[in-house]
Amino acid sequence: MKKRGYFILAFIIIGGLVSFVSSPLGGNKCTGDEEYAIGLGSLGAYSLIKDYRVNLKSGDPAPNENFMISLKAGLKYRFLPINNPENKKKMIMSIYMNQQKGMMLATSYNKATGKHYPTIDFACRTTGTFYVFFEMEDGEKGCGVGMFSVAN
């Protein structure tokens, strides 16, 4: 009888823990909250404009998420891609002239050297609407946060 009681107790505790982990209070690998905090710490003399929580599936060609942004001539912008530590490959943040990836204005990945950069600075001379794209290198799955900021 005592044994049965302990069994039930163990079952409930494990069940409670499982529920906790899957609940909004528990750990969620891709909430982006930790990446967001890291990004804020890297902004320096730049002011946050927007943040993007990105969650990408694997695929070929690499799936992307894109968002329309407005840039103003005469201002200096900083873009930060912040990777989730569990990403196998790094997230690439790029700015394009339009949604069809017409002309690339800036990117965090130099394809020629294979180097990723933690920030991209963009000195804007043309006011207008552009697109910020997120994708994972080699079309791997992954998640992270992108930050869009402006120099004070």
Give the residue, chosen from 72, 88, 101, 138, that forms a contact with another protein under the rule CB under 8 A.
Answer: 72
Q: Does 16 bind another protein (CB under 8 A)?
A: yes
Can you spell out the DSSP letters for 76-131? EEEEEEEE-TT-SS-EEEEEESSTT--SEEEESEETTTTEE-S-EEEE--S-EEEE
d(C-alpha 80, C-alpha 50), whole Å:
11
Instruction: Give how many residues touch another protein by CB under 8 A.
Output: 52
Q: Does 37 bind another protein (CB under 8 A)?
A: no
Strand duo 76-83 + 115-116: pairing: unpaired
Give the residue, chosen from 12, 34, 59, 88, that forms a contact with another protein under the rule CB under 8 A.
Answer: 12
Minimum CB distance to another protein smaller for 57 or for 104: 104
Report the residue count for the chain.
Answer: 152
Least CB distance to another protein at residue 150 (A): 6
Residue 126: phi and psi, rounded to 5, are -130, 120
Of the listed pieces 57-65, 82-90, 111-119, 137-145, which binds another protein according to CB under 8 A? Answer: 111-119
Strand duo 142-151 + 109-110: pairing: unpaired
Query: What does the radius of gyration of the chain's CA atoms come to, in whole angstroms?
Result: 20
Least CB distance to another protein at residue 35 (A): 15
Q: Does 92 bind another protein (CB under 8 A)?
A: no
Q: Which residues bind another protein (CB under 8 A)?
A: 1-2, 5, 8-9, 12-13, 15-16, 19-20, 22-25, 40, 47-51, 67-70, 72-75, 97, 103, 105-108, 110, 117-129, 150-152
